[in-house]
Amino acid sequence: MSESHSLPSPPPAKGRAGCFILILALLAGGGWWWWTQRIDVDTAAMAFGKGTKRSMRGASGGPVPVSVEEVKQEDFEEWLNIAGTVTPLNVVTVRSRVDGELKKVHFTEGQVVQAGDLLAEIDPRPFQVQLDQAKSQLARDQALLENARADLARYESLLKQDSIEKQKVDTQASLVRQYDATIISDLAAIASAELQLSYAKITSPITGRVGLRQIDAGNMIHPGDANGLVIVTQMNPVGLVFSIPQERVTVVRKRLAGSDAVPVEVLDREMNQPIGRGRLLTTDNQIDLTSGTLKLKAELPNEDGALFPNQFVITRLLVDVVPKATVAPATAIQRGARGAYAYVLNDDGTVKLQNLTTGAMRGDRTLIREGLKPGDKVVTQGVDRLRDGAKVDVIEPSGPTGAPLAERRNGEDKHDGSKQGKGAAQIP
């Protein structure tokens, strides 16, 4: 009886595939962990600009790499940013002062006109007729006056000869005075007719920009027309109306009462640069009970026409100037449950948590009222890993490219030296 030898069966295909997948998963997980650790190290090194080993010392218990800046003493200008509206200093609705037919229009819509410039003409013929009539009446009355004066002279001569009654002389003298008054009335009528004739020419009362024409030539124009002929708006200078909180009223009025002008600026929409500068004129005489604010008015030159009436703008008002103020970098000021604080560098290389009382902020500088003094060095970078009494390693902040500032300077010096070597002899 022969014995049969059975060969071991090969492992199934599903088992081999599972092992292969498990190995790939382990490799992928290890690679992901290594890559994330490398990113964290590179990020820390780039943030503090001194390489991986030095940047990670703070995380391993060594000194924390930080950047510091010195607290300065300077005159600190406190500006208040508020919303404002551009308002023209003068706006005139030009209307006719007499009734008549509009014959000619001498302006172009949107044109800048000067005070006294001719804007339009009304048919002058009716007013010229009235003037001619007044002049003719004056000539008639002057002739009557001359005749009455001549009769009076004869009557007075006859009275001296006792050839006429005195009553007749007195009557003639009264007639002469009557004609004198008539002449005065005629002269007034002529002046009135000349004035009406002058109103036939419509001129601009102010210097400014004309708006859209409200009536066309050929139409009858009247003094009572609601829209008038055109609106003239003064564009240079322009006014600016804005409101400040009532808490700032005392300081602003004190500055306004001083000898120096209070500057006012108008910023663009991005609040990056001013588009107009002027001075504060006055304040309103009462505070608005609804909003608790006080209206102020300023005047700004507008030669380039950048500001337009009724335009909404961002306004900056110089509220106060603190002389010899203590000013710290804004990046050094932190906020916590107990208020503002900063880390101050000690002489032994440690930092101290210092509570602060801060004031206004201007750009990247903050006014310090209590807690710091000029000459103190405060931490501006690396604050998130600090604690009171921590040991720190002061480094220079990174440049825009992410490289340490000292390394970039060395590189620039080398680069400049190579340029000099090409064109000039090297000085040992």
Return the domain boundaries, the chain. 64-78+324-395
| Block residue for tokens 């060969």 | 7
pLDDT at residue 397 is higher than 90: no
Give the span between the Cα atoms of 289 and 245, in whole angstroms.
Answer: 11
Residue 212 is classified by DSSP as -
pLDDT at residue 139 is higher than 90: yes
At 4-54, the pLDDT tens digits run: 444 444 555 555 666 667 777 777 777 766 665 554 444 444 444 444 444
CA dihedral 247, 249, 254, 256 (to 10 degrees): 150
159 pLDDT band, cuts 50/70/90, is confident
Give the span between the Cα atoms of 45 and 316, in whole angstroms.
Answer: 41
Least confident of 194-198, 308-312, 318-322: 318-322
Strand 392-394 and strand 64-70: the pairing is parallel
Give the span between the Cα atoms of 82 and 245, in whole angstroms.
Answer: 10
364 pLDDT band, cuts 50/70/90, is confident
Report the Cα–Cα distance between both ends of the chain, in Å, rounded. Answer: 105
What angle is formed at CA 105 by the lines to CA 99 and CA 111, rounded to 5 degrees?
130
> Global pTM?
0.61
- pLDDT for the residue 423: 37
Closest-CA residue to 181 (of 148, 229, 210): 148
Q: Which amino acid is it at 301?
A: P
Q: How far is CA 141 from the centre of its chain?
A: 66
Bond into 237 cis (ω within 30): yes
Residue 146 phi/psi, 5° resolution?
-65, -40
At the topology level, CATH places domain 64-78+324-395 in: 2.40.420
Least confident of 34-38, 97-101, 407-411: 407-411
Can you give the C-alpha Rg of the chain in angstroms? 46
- pLDDT for the residue 426: 33
Average pLDDT (351-367) is: 87
pLDDT at residue 223 is higher than 80: yes
Conformation bin of residue 47: beta by default, left when phi > 0, alpha when psi is -120 to 50: alpha
Closest-CA residue to 246 (of 296, 313, 281): 296
- pLDDT for the residue 336: 86
- pLDDT for the residue 16: 61
Q: Identify the residue with better confidence: 23 or 121.
A: 121
Least confident of 74-83, 132-141, 370-379: 74-83
List strand residue ranges (DSSP E) for 89-229, in order.
91-94, 100-105, 112-113, 118-122, 201-203, 208-210, 220-221
- pLDDT for the residue 95: 95
258 pLDDT band, cuts 50/70/90, is confident
Closest-CA residue to 302 (of 71, 5, 87, 28): 87
